[in-house]
Amino acid sequence: MSLFKLGSGSSVTGDDLKPLLSKAGLELSAPLLDDFSKLVSSLEDAIASLPDAKSVLPRPDLEKYPRTDIHIPEDNEMGAWATKVTAKCTSPTSDLLKGKTVALKDNMAFAGVRCTNGSTMVDWVPEIDATIATWIMDAGATIVGKAACENSCMEGMSATAVTGQVHNPYAKGYSAGGSSSGSGRLVATGSVDFAIGCDQGGSIRIPASSCGIVGLKPTWGLVPYTGILSLDATIDHAGPMAKTVRDCALLLEVIAGPDGWDDRQPPFGLEGDRLKFVAPVDAITAKESSKMLEGVKIGVLMEGFDVPGQGPNVVASVRSAIDKFRALGATVTSVSVPLHKEAPIPWMCAIPLSGAREALLGDVHGRKQLHLTDRAELVGTKLTQAQFDALGPGAANMYMGYLYVQEVYGPKLHGRCMNFLKTLSDAYDNALKEVDVLVMPTLPHSPAQLPEKGYDDSPVKFLGRTTGMLANTCAFNNSGHPALSLPVGFVPAREDPDVKLPVGLQIVGKKYADVDCLKVAAAWENAHDWKTL
């Protein structure tokens, strides 16, 4: 490491360095120890001269974006609300969302409003707004609160949020999905017009499927993730959740595009018609029903129907929904991507090292993006016993995996996983050369019954309830392709056949062709009332 300047003082002594060297298994001669104490002192001087961490944060103009009535509601809509607030822009730049209400997932920064991330691990009240929160207010919407999310956003079942279990809108006592659990329920019940979800393994699509709404995980980088707690920057996605496909397209039009902060986004090309989603959806639904998808090729991903533990009712419902595409003018063919079955393995192996560092410790190194330094200062370089005890089973499992992988494998395991992603992404790209979209079930089975003890069960017992849930979703976090969940009917609950719960069809498109997912979904939705199927 080169020097900008050599410090004149000796704020770091050889005695200060000896414990560090001993811990690292190193020894230095007395002359070298003296030299390195001077060099490290220069580093310490440079650190001391850095601007204050908070001075460079993009704080919001609270006169332009005022927020009032911040409170924890007594009635939290069956667990869906974390915190309520009323916030809107005094001078919006558009009326795309005029008069609409929006809930933000509770892993998003919104100045002056607590951000729990579903856990008591730290007590954090941000001083900034996530980019897309600002854009939502600029479009005329009112942000009305933070939607509950699962503990550290590491669960697919709505039972671990610090604010309580989130119940399915169609059956109390059943999961609303996760980790964007509150977002899914609030949209489904009409408590808000729109919600933002965040998705690293399926956390938009799982609650969308479970709650009977539309949820889109956009192409990686299409929507800026600035000001949102990361799990792993390579799989972070924020996206729209709404009751209809058109509403989903409308919210995407507001939140898509570059913000100048997020290095997940390409430096060029995200502009103009590429960021228009509503007009193409309207154009499709304006056509005669039998011609809405004329010329569109839909590929049924065979491996998406061959998931261990997949429920036959889910398979039957989704296949029936796919058959209906033919009447809309589409060509429907079978497509095979053998690597799809292996896709969850690198996702599972990569999460511990990067996920624990970024999500739990706030160590988002190597990224040119807005770092949430104020929250990272609350955590430290490792979790305390109290912080670990505050985690849900999924996050605790990730941290244990981190400690194990860091000691046994080091960074090479994560590197192996990252290198595999190109092969996986290419496999989907090749399949999508032959068809416009791929379709499959979003989830392998219906939402599970919520455990009576929350997550006080053993981690193995709790996590066993959702084994295999990510089989069709996490692959597209790895690859970055857009993936949308569309409600297409109801299936019986596994625990009680008299309880009927929503089922979702997943539609996957080419990268930055999110509009194709929306158009195909809109055509199906326009021709069918999913609640009657």
Active site residues: 105, 179, 203
Tokens representing 343 are 């896709």
Closest to 150 in 3D by CA, of 447, 460, 392: 392
Distance from C-alpha of 282 to C-alpha of 33, rounded to nearest angstrom: 71
Non-local CB neighbours of 389 within 8 Å, separated by 6+ positions: none
Rounded to the nearest 10 degrees, how much is the dihedral formed by the CA atoms of 338, 344, 349, 350?
A: 100
| CA 439/CA 504 separation, integer angstroms | 11
Nearest Cα to Cα of residue 145 among 75, 197, 71: 71
Q: What is the DSSP letter of 443?
A: S
Give the 3-state secondary structure of 211-260: HCCEEEECCCCCCCCCCECCCCCCCCCEEEEECCHHHHHHHHHHHCCCCC
Which phi-psi region, left, alpha or beta, contains residue 99 (left: φ > 0; alpha: ψ -120 to 50)?
left
Instruction: Provide the token pair at 234.
Output: 């390579």
* CA separation, residue 376 to residues 53, 229, 490 (Å): 11, 11, 43
Helix 344-355 and helix 411-431: axis angle, to 10°?
140
Q: What are phi and psi of 107, to 5 degrees?
A: -115, 10
Residues whose CB is less than 8 angstroms from the CB of residue 306 and which lie 6 or more positions away in sequence, other chains included: 341
Nearest to 270, CA basis, from 319, 233, 220: 220
Q: What are residue 440's phi and psi, to 5 degrees?
A: -170, 170
CA distances from 404 to 153, 352, 355 (A): 21, 9, 13
Phi-psi region of 79 (alpha: psi -120 to 50; beta: other; left: phi over 0): left
User: Parallel, antiparallel, or unpaired: how do β-strands 67-71 and 194-198 relate?
Assistant: unpaired
Task: Report the Cα 381 to chain-centroid distance in Å.
Answer: 24
DSSP-H helix ranges across 371-432:
373-379, 385-389, 393-408, 411-431
Distance, CA of 48 to CA of 350 (rounded, Å): 35
Max CA-CA distance within the chain?
A: 85
Is residue 107 within a helix (H) or strand (E), and if so which, with residue range?
none
How is residue 311 written in tokens?
A: 């429920």
Count of beta carbons in the 10 Å neighbourhood of residue 374 = 17
